[in-house]
Amino acid sequence: MPLQSHLDNKALEELEKKYDSALHTRDNGPFLTKVVYWATIAYALYHFWTAGFGTPVDYVHMGIHLAGLYFFIFLAFPFFKSDGAYANTPGKFLSFGNVPLFDWVIMVLAMMGSLYLWFSWRGFDLFGFNVSEQALRQGNPAGPDIFFGTIIILSVLEIARRTIGIVLPLIILVFIGYALLGPYIPIQILKHPGVDWRQFVNNMYFPFEGIFGVTLWVVSTVVFHFVLFGVVAQRMGLGQFFVDNAMILAGRYTGGPAKVSVVSSAFFGTISGSSIANTVSTGSLTIPNMKKLGYPGHFAGGVEAAASAGGQITPPIMGAASFLMAEYLEVPYTTIVIAAIVPALMHYIGVISIVHFTAKRLGLEAYPKDQIPQFVQVWREGWFTVLPLIGLLVVLFSGYSPNMAAFIGISLCIVVGFCAIDKPLSLAVPLMLLGFIFWKASPYSGEGFSPTMAGVLGALTLLGCLHRNERQSFKDLFDSCHVGVQYALAVGAASAAVGIVVGVINTTGVGFRLGFMVTNGAADMAASLAPLLDWTSLEVFEQSSIQQFLSLVLIAIACILMGAGLPTTALYIMLVAVAQPALAQLGVPALATHMFVLYYGVISEITPPVCASAYAAAGIAGANPFRTGVNAFTLGLGKLMVPMVFVYAPTMLIVLPEYFTLMSFLQVTLTCALGVFAIATAVSGYFIAPLNGIWRVLMAIGGLMLVAPSLGSDMASLLVIAPVLIQQFASQRTLQEATQ
């Protein structure tokens, strides 16, 4: 049976719908389906336009974005997820387009609530309601404010429930209860005066806090655009180009299909922040190929899930949480990108090392040579697909805003993938893009592009429309925009809902209270453990060091446990409120704290029993989902340890000058990579010969000591690993003699 080597967009879309619940929508019938389809195109074009030509004032833009979420989610996602609710069967009572009347009513009220702030910002006098301008109502909301605010609070919980499940709304309800019932909390440290419903609505509904706060702003101005770029770029041909290059780079070596899975997922991670989309896109090729060449199904699925889970931590386009991180820390997004480079590499080193040694142990071979694409042919036929990514990176790393970078990236995707000289009408797009670029470089645009930047982007535009390869139709472009909007719905719903958590934290100070509880509990445990270990006289066993380590462990466990079924964005927002105060008291830099929470939040995606990426991979592989999840978690061990390293040695993050020196960076990074490599041999049970029993344990211990960012532990690891190396060389010699 021939190996698969080509991505089919329609097949991918069907796979994504099968395994990603956010794309599983009800059948609205022919008329309403067309209305929704063209509404998604208009929604995408609105965001595209605002990215390049300026975003309206925050309450207007977020109101439009949230109104769109309500429109699409209430029409597409049923109240109860049953087969009957999804199917458009005739004769349903009070239903139009398979949408019940109550969904239409809730949708209209919620959309009115989203746009009400825009309408009422300057005040109004209508139907007997005399409402003053918003600045005068802050802290003293009017009757319509309370009505629409209540509608918005309840409806954002509902759209979050419909798109991502019940877990997040339940957690948010706990926060709401905490805000309203503060005086009745039985735990003294958590008790607070509380707020009444009127004040609660004021804090949650009016901008700058709560629902119309930083999370919805970042999603509506940045995250949406990058999701759209990732989908359009993939379907324009960049996805196939990534897969072909991954096969060229890794397919010829031992365990070729699995290594192709890791490399192609790493490439995909640069344009996609969705683990499930990454899993389905590359896994639809790599998982069947792995199985055909002898890999067990659960291992093939685990490899793909573990590699794909790196998408949210792989620069330059990481998940939504990374954009929020830049906003919270008030640093350029490029700072987050640079800080994430080395930790992401450690994750992929861990996965590919385990893949390599497992392939050696199982005796699995590389791709057949005739199945590996030719380098010259691949680049001759696909070089142009990289132009949008180059344009995006050039703009991003030149200090311009992320949404401007996304605007240029999407524009170049359209030029490269859909415009050609033999389609004269389509040339209007590159001409308009050139006009925009040189307008931005003119003195009339204010702070715009430099002449050099304009020249580079102009050249990319010309190259993009002059290549001779086949173009797609604009219908394909519209389909990509439609899918991009569908991908953004769950992220948008989660971000709007989790804004309530942010509002409660700001209103009650619960983040600092929980942070104090964490450090206090860790301090009590450290006080009990320190006397038992002080005989060592080592700094690492001092009470303050033990307290810091236990605080990190408690927060990491909370991240992984709470991450079951939660979007990384929501998890990040809730846990950073606890982690930041707790770890700041222990001297951990803010950037390291935020990255720590992000990493452990992402790990939850491959941690059984709830691990959506692994379940999608298991579905493609036809394997046991739980066993696939266990394999994915095992393969992701590098990502499990690296956050501890950059908390103790922030030099790994590069961008913190008070911690970074070249020598400390090289020492920490190289020994961490060697440690991850050593642990991979222990996990897979193979190095240069089979690795069993006590030798496997010693290799794992030595690897952990190498990962620990300390010169003393590095030296001690050599003593632990040396006997294993001697045993391995002896075993190799014995095997060679036996085969001669």
| Residue 7 scores a pLDDT above 70 | no
DSSP string, 300-342: HHHHHHHHHGGGGGSSSS--HHHHHHHHHHT--HHHHHHHHHH
Identify which of 507, 481, 406, 498 has the alpha carbon closest to the alpha carbon of residue 217: 498
Q: Is the pLDDT of residue 4 over 60?
A: no
Q: Residues 660, 361: contact at Cβ < 8 Å?
A: no
Of the candidates 447, 57, 335, the one whose C-alpha atom is nearest the C-alpha of residue 221 is 57
* Residue ranges making up the domain that contains 732: 656-740
User: Hey, is 68 helix, strand or coil?
Assistant: helix
How far apart CA 168 and CA 176 sit, in angstroms, is 12
Q: Which residue has the higher pLDDT, 690 or 147?
A: 147
Asked whether residue 679 is domain-assigned, the answer is: yes
Q: According to the per-residue pLDDT averaged within each range, which of 81-90, 226-235, 541-550 is highest?
A: 226-235
* Structure confidence at residue 606 (pLDDT): 76
Q: What is the pLDDT of residues 491-509, one digit of tens each?
A: 889 889 988 988 888 888 8
SS3 for 421-461 is: CCCHHHHHHHHHHHHHHHHHCCHHHCCCCCHHHHHHHHHHH
Q: Which residues pair with 13 in a beta bridge?
A: none
pLDDT at 34: 93
What whole-number distance in Å separates Cα of residue 149 and Cα of residue 175? 17
pLDDT of residue 154: 95
pLDDT at 533: 72
Say if residues 331 and 345 touch (Cβ distance below 8 Å): no
pLDDT over 50 at 525, yes or no:
yes
ω before 609 within 30° of 0 (cis)?
yes
Phi-psi region at 9: left, alpha or beta (left = phi > 0; alpha = psi -120 to 50):
alpha
User: 687 lies in a domain?
Assistant: yes
> Could you tell me if residue 90 is inside a domain?
no
Dihedral sign from CA coordinates of 334, 338, 341, 344: negative
| Average confidence (pLDDT) over 324-333 | 87
CB within 8 Å of 565: residues ≥ 6 apart: 164, 165, 167, 168, 610
For residue 455, being part of any structural domain is answered with no
On whether residue 704 sits in a domain, the answer given is yes
Q: Which residues, including other chains, have CB under 8 Å from residue 438's CB and lie 6 or more apart? A: 454, 458
Q: Quick one: pLDDT at residue 274?
A: 65
pLDDT tens per residue, range 368-388: 777 788 888 888 888 888 899
Lowest mean pLDDT among 8-22, 137-151, 272-286, 668-682: 8-22
Q: Per residue in 555-580, pLDDT tens? A: 888 777 776 667 777 778 877 877 77
Residues forming a β-bridge with 129: 126
Instruction: Name 124's bridge partners.
Output: 131
Output the CA–CA distances (angstroms, integers) from residue 451 to 411, 439, 609, 688, in the order listed.
Answer: 19, 11, 54, 55
User: pLDDT by residue (tens digit) across 590-647?
Assistant: 899 888 888 887 777 777 776 777 877 888 888 888 888 888 888 877 777 888 888 8
- Cβ atoms of 120 and 147 within 8 Å: the answer is no
240 vs 7, 12, 246, 678, CA distance in Å? 6, 12, 10, 33
Q: Does 443 sit behind a cis peptide bond, omega within 30 degrees of 0 on the bond before it? A: no
* Average pLDDT of the residues in 69-77: 93
Token code pair at residue 608: 């059984």
Is the residue at 458 inside a domain?
Answer: no
State the average pLDDT for the chain. 84
Question: Do β-strands 129-131 and 124-126 pair in parallel, antiparallel, or remain unpaired?
Answer: antiparallel
Specify the pairing of strand 99-100 against strand 95-96: antiparallel
DSSP 197-235: HHHHHHHHHSTTSGGGSHHHHHIIIIIHHHHHHHHHHII
Residue 11 has pLDDT above 70, yes or no: no
Bigger pLDDT: 312 or 179?
179
Q: Which residue has the higher pLDDT, 569 or 552?
A: 552
Q: How many CB atoms lie within 10 A of CB 430?
A: 22
pLDDT tens digits for range 402-460: 889 899 999 999 998 888 787 888 888 899 999 999 888 887 766 678 888 899 999 99
- pLDDT category, 67, cuts 50, 70, 90? very high
274 belongs to a structural domain = no
The pLDDT of residue 1: 43
Measured from the Cβ of residue 585, the count of other Cβ atoms closer than 10 Å reads: 17
In angstroms, how far is CA 527 from the centroid of its own chain? 38
Q: For residue range 267-323, what is the model confidence (pLDDT) as tens digits?
A: 777 776 667 777 777 777 778 878 877 778 888 888 888 888 777 788 887 777 788
- pLDDT of 690 above 90: no
Give the number of C-alpha atoms closer than 13 A to the C-alpha of residue 3, restricted to the C-beta side: 23
What is the residue whose two structure tokens read 């974005």? 65
Alpha helix locations (H) across 87-238? 101-120, 134-137, 143-164, 167-180, 197-205, 214-218, 224-233
pTM check: above 0.75: yes
Tell me if 421 is assigned to some domain: no
CB atoms within 10 A of CB 172: 23
Domain count, the chain: 1
**Average pLDDT score over residue span 513-522:** 83
Mean pLDDT of 180-198: 87
Arithmetic mean of pLDDT, 183-201: 88
Q: Name all contacts of 539-543 with Cβ < 8 Å and 24+ positions apart.
A: 540/710
pLDDT score, position 132? 85
Contacts of 491 (CB under 8 A, 6+ apart): 219, 223, 224, 227, 320, 567, 569
According to DSSP, residue 237 is labeled I
* CA distance from start to end of the chain: 34
How far lies 401's CA from each of 50, 132, 331, 404, in Å?
Answer: 12, 35, 12, 5
Name the residue type at position 702.
G
Contacts of 56 (CB under 8 A, 6+ apart): 50, 64
For residue 686, which phi and psi values (nearest 5 degrees)?
-160, 140
State the Cα–Cα distance between residues 99 and 92, nearest whole angstrom: 9
Is the per-residue pLDDT at 165 higher than 70? Answer: yes
